[in-house]
């Protein structure tokens, strides 16, 4: 019976009504604090995971995992592409010509990176076909000087499908009349939207048109590669460059967009740490609750000691009580956090439709909707941390209870 004593009495103290209502109030605030801390931490980490996933699938679905270029120009690109696709981890390859330029129409000017692509090959390394709002990448036909614009870029220029835009490139043409900037008129044949900042600064044209504009002849800028594991891009790029020789160079996605993912991971760790402090504050409120309960129960403790309860059993009673309070708060917080994490996108969408506002601007936040991705590992870590902090908060009050001397307490009873 004495072995079960801490569990039975500890749970009884949780259920019992308090003579001192302030103790009940502190106990309730401890539960609420743990509940809110755990729920908010699950929700915020899920949103951070969602941002990370969206950046990977959207941005890295449009930009290459790695690029292989030749310093002397790449002419026999088809044979090289087939050779590279036979390598482990390489699942797609496509040629490209990149040209930085400025689109101009009706007095509006917007800078953009124009990718010259082969439409039939581009689907191997890009998800653009899945995000075409108007037109198709197949509308890019050599010699017709068509261009596909990002949705934000098209909106800023005030153009749609069928409109004509002028592309100015930062190279000069020398003519008998003098030096003039190189420019070319394009027809907008399509508009894409991936919900990221690429919509504002990316355009596509046929690779032969861009070769002609950049005066590259039959050579291309290089090959873009799609890998089965984007985190292996660094090692795969080094191996390919070492195999091809000194005339080749490689650049993986970490050079162009790695800072975004590092920032997301850093923010996730820092926000997790800050919100864990909230859980710690709520958990250590249990210290106040138990200290007051110990003071209130001095007589009960003394009686238990006189009938044979050991200091260890007395400590167990108040540890059980504190853990019971924490368990209730943590359990409710986990349920609430999971529900919010799974439904936050719908909730935010409803609020935006009711208020007529947009919380996330793709030009600022890289995506236009609030993502959420629940990772069960995060939930387990949060629960473990919350239980650990709760357990630590019970030790001091339980130790004080174990030091109560029955003779001193019962002397005045």
Residue 409: the pLDDT is 61
| Element of type H or E holding 214 | helix 207-214
Q: Per mean pLDDT, which range of 88-92, 240-244, 276-280 is the poorest?
A: 276-280
- Kindly state the percentage of the chain with pLDDT values over 90: 15
* Predicted confidence (pLDDT) at residue 2 exceeds the cutoff of 50: no
Confidence tier at 172 by pLDDT (50, 70, 90): low
CA 348 – CA 89 distance, rounded (Å): 38
Residue 88: CB atoms within 10 Å: 10
- Kindly state the percentage of the chain with pLDDT values over 70: 86
Tell me the pLDDT tens digit for each residue of 293-302: 777 777 777 7
Residue 246: the pLDDT is 84
Residue 129: CB atoms within 10 Å: 13
Mean pLDDT computed over 256-261:
68
Confidence tier at 233 by pLDDT (50, 70, 90): confident
Identify the residue with better confidence: 171 or 143.
143
Tell me the pLDDT tens digit for each residue of 108-166: 899 899 999 999 898 888 888 888 888 888 899 988 999 999 988 999 999 999 999 99
343-371 in b/e burial notation, b at 16+ Cβ within 10 A? ebeeebeeeeeeeeeeebebeeebbbbbb
* Predicted confidence (pLDDT) at residue 193 exceeds the cutoff of 80: yes
Q: Per mean pLDDT, which range of 128-137, 308-317, 328-337 is the poorest?
A: 308-317
Q: What are the CA-CA distances from residue 269 to residues 37, 225, 397 (Å)?
A: 16, 31, 32
Mean pLDDT computed over 84-113:
89
CA 337 – CA 350 distance, rounded (Å): 19
Antiparallel, parallel or unpaired: β 146-150 and 178-192:
parallel
Q: Per mean pLDDT, which range of 80-84, 166-170, 177-181, 227-231 is the poorest?
A: 177-181
* Predicted confidence (pLDDT) at residue 42 exceeds the cutoff of 60: yes
CA 40 – CA 162 distance, rounded (Å): 48
| Element of type H or E holding 298 | helix 298-306
Mean pLDDT computed over 385-399:
86
Residue 1: the pLDDT is 40
Confidence tier at 176 by pLDDT (50, 70, 90): low
Q: Per mean pLDDT, which range of 50-54, 103-107, 124-128, 148-152 is the poorest?
A: 50-54
* Predicted confidence (pLDDT) at residue 7 exceeds the cutoff of 50: yes
Tell me the pLDDT tens digit for each residue of 341-363: 888 878 877 777 787 776 666 55
Mean pLDDT of the chain: 81
Mean pLDDT computed over 249-278:
76
What are the φ/ψ torsions at residue 412 (nearest 5 degrees)? -105, 5
Confidence tier at 17 by pLDDT (50, 70, 90): low
Rg (CA), the chain: 32
Residue 312: the pLDDT is 83
Residue 260: the pLDDT is 67
Residue 24: the pLDDT is 66
**Which pairs from 183-187 meet CB under 8 Å and 24+ separation?**
184/145, 184/213, 185/145, 186/145, 186/146, 186/147, 187/144, 187/145, 187/146, 187/147, 187/162, 187/163
Identify the residue with better confidence: 246 or 205.
205
Identify the residue with better confidence: 413 or 377.
377
The predicted model scores a pTM of: 0.67
Residue 173: the pLDDT is 57
Mean pLDDT computed over 5-22:
63
């Amino acid at each position: 019976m004495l072995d079960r004593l801490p569990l039975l009495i500890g749970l009884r103290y949780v259920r019992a009504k308090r003579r001192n209502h302030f103790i009940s109030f502190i106990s309730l605030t401890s539960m609420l604090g743990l509940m809110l801390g755990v729920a908010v931490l699950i929700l915020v980490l899920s949103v951070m995971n969602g941002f990370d996933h969206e950046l990977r699938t959207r941005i890295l679905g449009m930009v290459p995992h790695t690029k292989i270029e030749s310093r002397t120009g790449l002419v026999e690109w088809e044979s090289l592409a087939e050779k590279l696709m036979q390598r482990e981890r390489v699942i797609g390859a496509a040629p490209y010509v990149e040209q930085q330029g400025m689109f101009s129409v009706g007095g509006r000017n917007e800078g953009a990176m124009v990718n010259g692509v082969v439409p039939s090959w581009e689907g191997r390394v890009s998800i653009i076909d899945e995000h075409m709002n108007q037109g198709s990448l197949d509308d890019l036909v050599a010699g017709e000087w068509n261009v596909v614009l990002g949705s934000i870029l098209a909106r800023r220029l005030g153009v749609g499908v069928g409109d004509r835009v002028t592309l100015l490139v930062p190279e000069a043409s020398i003519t008998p009349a003098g030096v003039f900037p190189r420019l070319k008129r394009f027809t907008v044949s399509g508009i894409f939207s991936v919900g990221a900042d690429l919509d504002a600064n990316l355009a596509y044209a046929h690779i032969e048109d861009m070769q002609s504009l950049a005066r590259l002849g039959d050579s291309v800028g290089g090959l873009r590669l799609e890998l089965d594991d984007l985190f292996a891009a660094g090692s795969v790029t080094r191996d390919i460059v070492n195999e091809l020789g000194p005339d080749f160079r490689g650049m993986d996605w970490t050079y162009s967009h790695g800072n975004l993912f590092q920032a997301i991971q850093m923010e996730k760790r820092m926000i997790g740490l800050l919100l864990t402090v909230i859980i710690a504050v709520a958990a250590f409120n249990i210290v106040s609750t138990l200290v007051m309960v110990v003071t209130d129960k001095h007589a009960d403790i003394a009686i238990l000691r006189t009938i044979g309860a050991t200091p260890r059993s007395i400590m167990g009673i108040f540890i059980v009580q504190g853990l019971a309070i924490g368990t209730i708060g943590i359990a409710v917080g986990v349920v609430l956090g999971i529900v919010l994490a799974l439904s936050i996108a719908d909730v935010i969408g409803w609020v935006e439709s009711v208020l007529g506002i947009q919380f996330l601007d793709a030009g600022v936040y890289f995506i236009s909707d609030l993502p959420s991705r629940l990772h069960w590992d995060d939930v387990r870590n949060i629960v473990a941390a919350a239980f650990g902090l709760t357990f630590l908060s019970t030790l001091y009050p339980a130790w004080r209870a174990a030091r109560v001397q029955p003779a001193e307490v019962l002397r005045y009873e």
